[in-house]
Amino acid sequence: MSVANAEHKDPILLTPGPLTTSLQTKQAMLRDWGSWDGDFNQITTRVRQHLLEIAHAGETHECVPLQGSGTFSVEAAIGTIVPRDGHVLVPMNGAYCQRIARICEYLGRRVSTHSYAEDQAISTSDIDRLLSADPSITHVAIVHCETSTGILNPLQDIAKVVAKHGKGLIIDAMSSFGAIEVDARVTPFDALVAASGKCIEGVPGMGFVLARRSVLEQCKGNAHSLALDLYDQWVYMQKTTQWRFTPPTHVVAALDQALQQYRAEGGLAARGARYAANCKQLIDGLAALGLRSFLPKEIQAPIIVTVHAPQHANYNFQAFYNAVKRQGFILYPGKLTTVETFRVGCMGHFGDEGMRGAIAAIANVLEEMQIATAVAA
Ligand SMILES: *Cc1c(COP(=O)(O)O)cnc(C)c1O
């Protein structure tokens, strides 16, 4: 009884993290762990191993976890992997690539950017051309799924081109890792960054970097920051099996539990298929209500959908959000500068039933707000 209640009392988060987690994942946090304790350190070791396996990277890469939200790990990856005299190329089609460029500026790493419209994927031939034109570039840093719109960038092709030029690739795979395949055996990268509270459906608080071992070994002294030095974190963890500084123990325990459920569900194929089904159901359901998604289908990742706001005088996001929340669903604001949009996440511990409820809630609210958008037959 209390189990069902606990699962249904909270609203479903239609957001790109933090997201809705299972009851078992939440329950995994009802225990205190000592950071020196062998049992806890076994959990850390198991989690690191499991994360490497998801990317088929156990032979070539090391998983270095880091306290903090995902951005801490992105910053740590850039600061640790890119030498101080390095030069990073950042193709930009959204807010998270812009954040990478800003991080480079903060850290004093030379950065060149190449901008696209917010509804365009990064072009592999542009990367090829830019790398040929400027041999001083040492690394390319890209966002796999640009969460600010939901664009899926062509990682596989970009990775091949970057490797052809002999440059390092750093991937922010925060909102795709675990749901969209990245196979280190065929997609070469120096570092891939993701976090606990995204497609693995853990709780937020821990990021991790899958770093190529042969590269990481050369990274001593690169970092500008003690707390964000992945090399130091890695060396300490190899030596002691412990975290260098206080670990987010409950977050790690919840992630371990979330990973067991991930495996039981059927791993990446099953997780990706569930999100893809959520995404299709969402786009079709909203279309039937007269709400158009922002991106063309070919570049839409099955992770988060940007939706054009209804063109109606009665619409305002905050009122819409509040009304949908009263029906048990949390939406996400849009992030585009040019057009008014809102976003709906497809990720988290829900499926067909949850998405059906979300669409029904949105339909009810549109009616309640007297926004007539329904497509006439
Ligand atoms: C969530 C996310 C991040 C990290 O954001 P935090 O707020 O630091 O957790 C970075 N990149 C992408 C693409 C994301 O979706």
Ligand 1 pocket: which of 15, 67, 96, 206 to mutate (most atoms within 8 A of CB): 96
Ligand 1 in contact with 345 (CB < 6 A)?
A: no
Helix, strand, coil shares, percent, the chain, to 5? 40, 15, 40
| 15 Cβ below 6 A of ligand 1 | no
Distance of CA 38 from the midpoint of ligand 1 (Å): 31
- At residue 345, the pLDDT reads 97
For residue 65 and ligand 1, the question of a CB distance below 6 A is answered with: no
State residue 77's pLDDT score.
98
Low-confidence spans in the chain with pLDDT less than 50? 1-7, 376-377
* Residue ranges with strand state E in 69-128: 87-92, 110-115
Residue 109 CA to ligand 1 center (angstroms) comes to 21
Radius of gyration from C-alpha coordinates of the chain: 21
Task: With both helix axes pointing from N to C terminus, report the angle between 230-240 and 70-81 in degrees, rounded to the nearest 10.
Answer: 100
**Do residues 319 and 369 lie in contact, with contact meaning Cβ atoms separated by under 8 Å?**
yes
Nearest CA residue ID for atom 4, ligand 1:
70
Pocket test for ligand 1, best of 172, 199, 343 (most atoms within 8 A of CB): 172
Please tell me the distance between residue 207's alpha carbon and the centre of ligand 1 in angstroms.
10
pLDDT of residue 373: 64
Residue-wise pLDDT for 202-231, tens only, equals 999 999 999 999 999 999 999 999 999 999
For 186, phi then psi, to 5°, come to -125, -10
Q: What is the pLDDT of residue 338?
A: 84
Q: Is the CB of 98 under 6 A from ligand 1?
A: no
Residue 76 contacts residue 208 (beta carbons within 8 Å) = no
Kindly list the distances between the CA atom of residue 148 and the CA atoms of 121, 152, 332, in Å, as whole numbers in the listed order.
13, 11, 10
From 332, 331, 316, select the one nearest 361 (Cα to Cα).
331
pLDDT at 2: 36
**Residue 47: burial class (beta carbons within 10 Å; 0-12, 13-18, 19+):** buried
- Put residue 17 in one of left, alpha, beta given phi > 0 → left and psi -120 to 50 → alpha: left
pTM, whole model, 2 decimals? 0.96
Domains of the chain (ranges; CATH) run 3-16+267-368 (3.90.1150.10), 23-263 (3.40.640.10)
